Structure 1
């Protein structure tokens, strides 16, 4: 049963990654961001080939002074999707330079829409100050290298299990927590992950 579950999880991840690639090409989103900002990188679960749900993370270099241009992207993205026969359902704009997060400030769009098969997608788009973007890309490259030596199914299983618990994923543990946990070889269960993080201690 465990082997079958692992096979199913691998199939889901492969299917989702194929869907993500097709979506980015057919909508023209990645090309749009690349043309505008010179570089756009798919990171997160889609970039690491560890997808469990329909979620995309796209990062690019963008100076904080371009906040006005970034704010206007919402309408441009909506029009781009409409031109492909899709409708932007929700878009959340954030200028995180106003109240910077301890981990860094950036410009953000949270996009939600359905693909051509009527599947819902969430797309988190971040614009970072160019030097900060380069630093983040270097960190991301190190994480990708570390993840390549990890038990891939362990990560997929923990992500599925975390997602299945109400109010758990993103609130108690994040995907990044799971990645770090796997890289550290600190255990095999969410309970061990919580202990490793020091939750409840």
Structure 2
């Protein structure tokens, strides 16, 4: 694996730990449910400053979720926070729950923190998916995923029409190892041209 990407991953993991534990975000979340840090943090595959957290909560309402939002602003001093109610919206590729998208400047860097309050069944399903990916990773696959994520993270269609899960799927299930192979894979499997 590229030493630089490995170092970047470690640096981002350390910064994420600072957000969660030094700044106290994890303790704040625990007051409202059972937080599960997921995504690239859980997989040890970080290439940019984005943290995904699922908050297991059976009966989260808007008022309580906005109380949590106030605590988040006190801990992370965000420049912007976005709210979604996907219990109403039901957007196909998104979890059914309440969402805070937190944009903040921490450790002299811009960070985005995604927090979803969802029920225990949804959390179990999300955790199973990410644990399955982690179980199937080896050094070679990890290297391919980090390289692809690093090359694609600023693409205008990334996180709009294709996602990290597509990169994981391509590498783990179809042995994709290069950007050209991934472009072909996206075109064939998703009819997306990049």
TM-score by length of 1: 0.84
Q: Looking at CA atoms only, which structure, 1 or 2, has the larger radius of gyration? A: 1
Aligned length: 189
Please name the residue that 2:11 is paired with.
15
Give the corresponding residue for 2:165: 176
- For residues 123-162 of structure 1, the aligned pairs below 5 Å read 123-148=113-138, 151-162=141-152
2:101 matches 1:106: no
1:148 is displaced (CA, Å) by 4.3
Deviates more, 1:42-51 or 1:139-148: 139-148
1:74-93 matches, cutoff 5 A? 74-81=69-76, 87-93=77-83
Residue by residue over 1:49-101, the C-alpha shift from the partner in whole angstroms, topping out at 9 and shown as x without a partner, is 101111100111123552321133222211233xxxxx221111111011212
Structure 1 regions of 5+ residues with no counterpart?
82-86
Decide whether the 8 Å contact of 1:150 with 1:182 is kept in 2.
no
Aligned equivalents of 2:125, 2:145: Cα separation in 1: 25
> What is the Cα deviation at residue 173 of structure 1?
2.9
* Residue 27 of structure 1: how far off its partner (Å): 1.2
Moved over 3 A (4+): none
TM-score normalised by structure 2 residue count? 0.87
How well do the aligned residues superpose, as a CA RMSD in angstroms?
Answer: 2.1
* Shift in alpha-carbon separation, 1:181–1:30, aligned structure 2, 3 A: same
SS in 2 for 1:171: coil
